[in-house]
Amino acid sequence: MEEKTDYSNKPLKPMSNFTWFGLVATCIKLLLIPSYHSTDFEVHRNWLALTHSLPLSQWYIDETSPWTLDYPPLFAYFERFLSIFTKFIDPNIVDLHMGLNYNTLSVIYFQRITVIVSDMCLFFGIYRLTKKLGYRRRLMIWILVIWSPGLLIVDHVHFQYNGFLLGLLLVSLSYLEEGRDLMGGFVFAVLLCFKHLFAVAAPVYFVYLLRHYCRAGLVRGLRRLLMMGVAVAMVFAAAFGPFLYQGQIHQVIRRMFPFGRGLCHAYWAPNFWVFYIILDKGLAFLLRKLGFNIQVPAASFTGGLVGDSSPFAVLPQITPLTTFIMVLLSISPCLIKAWRNPQPGMITRWVAYAYTCGFLFGWHVHEKASLHFVIPLAIVAVHSLEDARHYFLLSIVSCYSLFPLLFEAQEYPIKVLLLLLHSILMWLGFSAQFTETAVTKVSAKRGDSAATKKGGFVIGWIGKSYLLGLLVVEIWGQFLHPYFLGNRFPFVPLILISVYCALGIMYSWIWQLKFIIKSP
């Protein structure tokens, strides 16, 4: 009987294979350096300048630029560290009075390369999480994360540091999956002091660590609780202590949580509030037609302007407290699971689900926040055929929802090619993994090598129909809308993308919720 190679357990040459993946990703990032960048580019340049030019006591007070510092202190320290190297590149980069949009080649290359270098944290995190997996799973996760089109679009075209921050999250999760809870909690505390929006998963961390790490008898449990508390307190003291000493902690918190920005961003993130807004608009239109005197608020949801876009004409007003309660309630199923049965193998799913809830029901959510759950879900996408099917659709929807970030014509081929190539790689990778799994199972059952290929990676007609709908939405927005309507209703294509992608994200939330409820 001919022996078959079990690729699922085939060992890798860890560093050589991983280095190759990283080098390919880095080459792509270098090619993207001259591409479009958003106002976030100037935001971070200003943060470089103010942390370099001003004393710490002025960082969260300065209003020289409209792009004031609104990240937690560790990120401010990170910007200060990067600013040290600007004197070797171009001292004008950190001149606080250069004015807006200082856009020379020196600053473009410097800031782009800082993002590329900081992605080493992402590489480290994904390497730790996959180092004990078999060949197929490990390779697939590298493809999904290191070559993620969403990360390339947001970080290396639009411009941000999500790869670095998500790397910290993955490092934390890797420690938790290994049972090293103290280190996992410590790294998560560090992450929160870099970007506070990751705090959506804090309840999951708290319940999980309380039950898994601190439940070890009264004395030992109290000692562990004290150790965890001290570790977290040390991180927050190092980050916020200097500002507490300066009497500025209120100003720091106010900058970090600017609730006046409104429920929705200018371009609606594809979440639950899209449907709420559409319902409010539809009811207002219908009631006016029926003769009711409905006053439409001055703030427009479709004006495309950053600002307070929270007033509703008919439906109840939404407050930050309302969204907080909705997020907490939606997370509660995995909190109950973490309390009853804290399993290291489930922590990544629970954290990803928490970020999905935050994205769907949170206050002033940016479309870029979908990366917070798409990247962790890549880790579990290789566990089963159902996980793979779910992730295949979610990854495409999430990436497509980011398309409006790159609105200039010269970037259109880039975002389309990135999504298409990644979709093809996902399809080929999942097909190879799960078709081979099906063959192995049939072979084991028959006891011979003549097994036929059964099963494999398919997404079904509903998934295919939904993806076809994405194509229809894109063709309308990119080609048919300008042809038939010209410059009229310019925000309609963005509304269509938000609404249609919101359906996909809602499906992902329901799918994850069902999985968590059914899990032991």
Residue 5's pLDDT band (cuts 50, 70, 90) = very low
User: 3-state DSSP call for residue 165?
Assistant: helix
Supply the mean pLDDT for the chain. Answer: 89
Condensed to tens digits (0 to 9), the pLDDT of residues 424-474 reads: 999 999 999 887 655 555 455 555 444 444 456 888 899 999 999 999 999
| Plot region of 489 (φ>0 → left; ψ -120 to 50 → alpha; else → beta) | left
pTM for the model: 0.92
Least trusted range by pLDDT, from 17-26, 136-145, 184-193, 309-318: 309-318
Handedness of CA 463, 465, 469, 472 (dihedral sign): positive
**CB-based contact 340:356 (threshold 8 Å):** no
* Segment (H or E) for 423: helix 412-446
Look at residue 452 in the predicted model and tell me its pLDDT: 43
- In single-letter form, the type of residue at position 447 comes to G
Which whole number is the average pLDDT over 223-241?
96
**CB-based contact 5:136 (threshold 8 Å):** no
Residue in the block written with tokens 């963005």: 494
- Residue 241 pLDDT > 80: yes
Residue 298's pLDDT band (cuts 50, 70, 90) = low
Which whole number is the average pLDDT over 380-388?
95
- Give the whole-angstrom CA distance, residue 450 versus residue 4: 11
- Give the whole-angstrom CA distance, residue 133 versus residue 128: 10
- Residue 346 pLDDT > 50: yes
- Residue 9 pLDDT > 80: no
User: Which pair of structure tokens corresponds to residue 386?
Assistant: 């159902």
Picking from 261, 518, 297, 205, the residue whose alpha carbon sits closest to that of residue 510 is 518
Q: What angle do CA 227, 232, 238 make, to 5 degrees?
A: 125
